[in-house]
Amino acid sequence: MQANESATQKLPLQGALGRLLGNLKGDRWIWLIVILLSVLSLLAVYSSTGTLAYKQGKANESYLVKHMAMILGGIALMYISHKLDYRYYAGISKILMVVTIPLLLYTLIFGNHVNDASRWIAIPGTGLTFQTSDLAKLALITYLARTLSRKQENIKDVKQSFIPIMGSVCVVFILIALANLSTALMLFGVSILLLIIGRISIKQIAVVCAAGMILLSGVIFLGPRRKTYVSRIHTFMHPELANKDKSFQSDHSKIAIATGGVFGKGPGNSTERNYLPHPYSDFIYATIIEEYGLVGGFALVGVYLFLLYRCIKIVTKAPKAFGALLAAGLSFSLTIQAFANMAVAVGLGPVTGVPLPLVSMGGTSILFTSVAFGIILSVSRDIDEPRKVVVGEIRTVSQ
């Protein structure tokens, strides 16, 4: 009797779990990757925020609870965005671009200044900040995917196709680069990849690259953060000549990686987290290697590579050009950002403020990354689910 009663009690739980899993559409491997990265993020952030909590006189658990709330909120946004047909994002992209450019301008003029950079807008009454470049990445990628897919018939036309595309890329690039050069460069690189996939001619792509180089030179040598950019490049190129204060972050990141060994010191046993300025965001990969060793570091690299592989499969199977370009742009953006963060941690690039997607502690970064995952899942859902043909009714949805 007791065995039958316990089995009866388990049935509703199993049924609820089955319904929940049944509502998760799209590539199941990507859902698994999201869960793995979220769990690793909770462990790494909880381990690396001890010093920050001590300095601010807060309990370490308070940061864990806040971070967990952001991850759960991100998963909720991912679920919502993956249930929406990806073709509706074509129309949403126009609204996003109209909103994004004024927001970027407002951020440069009135945003919160941290380390001579104005990247955040304070949300009144919440105590939270909003990084507009996260919205700009999503807006530009969706807009480029829409424009390239709609103008395939006259893609070589300079006036109708090339100028609108080049203008959107260059405007967003310069507005982000003035405060956040690393993010702007990565977004510019993703845009060039989309132009190549979208069959823009090599000559026109060369013009875009030349315009980007001119804007980049102006930002580095004439922009408001020119001293910071030149200093970081000089420190990276000539670490032996750099002031120790300038190379402090990269030095302790290398120490963390070197002392981690093959299998690491174990979860929660990092010591360099007490010295690194941002062990929970910019240098969280160094903290992960120190605690989980090279095995953990290479495993994380493998997760992001596998993510890219799954996304490329989605791109090749997408029935519409817009879906393929959308999935390609978002997946390139996520993986390039991930490898840029890890490259900085291991000393393969100058210090930047780029977080590790879905792992680093953050607010808007986690939320917009989750939306990007949701859109990719929406494209994959369109591949997995056979279309239902309604007799006597023809529905047209914009490409």
The residues spanned by each domain of the chain are 26-383
Q: Could you tell me the two tokens for 287? A: 């903290």
Is the pLDDT score of 331 beyond 80? yes
Is the pLDDT score of 73 beyond 90? yes
Contact 251, 233 (CB under 8 A): no
Is the pLDDT score of 271 beyond 50? yes
Query: Cα separations (Å) of 36 from 128, 154, 303, 311?
Result: 27, 43, 9, 17
In the chain, the N- to C-terminal Cα span, in Å, equals 59
In this structure, of 81-95, 202-216, 319-333, 385-399, the range with the lowest mean pLDDT score is: 385-399
Residue pointed to by tokens 């971070």: 67
Is the pLDDT score of 142 beyond 90? yes
pLDDT at 243: 64
pLDDT at 15: 57
pLDDT at 242: 62
Is the pLDDT score of 165 beyond 80? yes
> pLDDT tens digits for 32-49?
999 999 999 999 999 888
pLDDT at 219: 85
Stronger pLDDT, 26 or 256, i.e. the higher one: 256
Over range 197-201, report the average pLDDT.
85
In this structure, of 10-19, 87-96, 158-167, 312-321, the range with the lowest mean pLDDT score is: 10-19
Strand partners, 232: none
Confidence of residue 245 (pLDDT cuts 50, 70, 90): low
Give dist(CA 64, CA 70) in Å, integer. Answer: 10
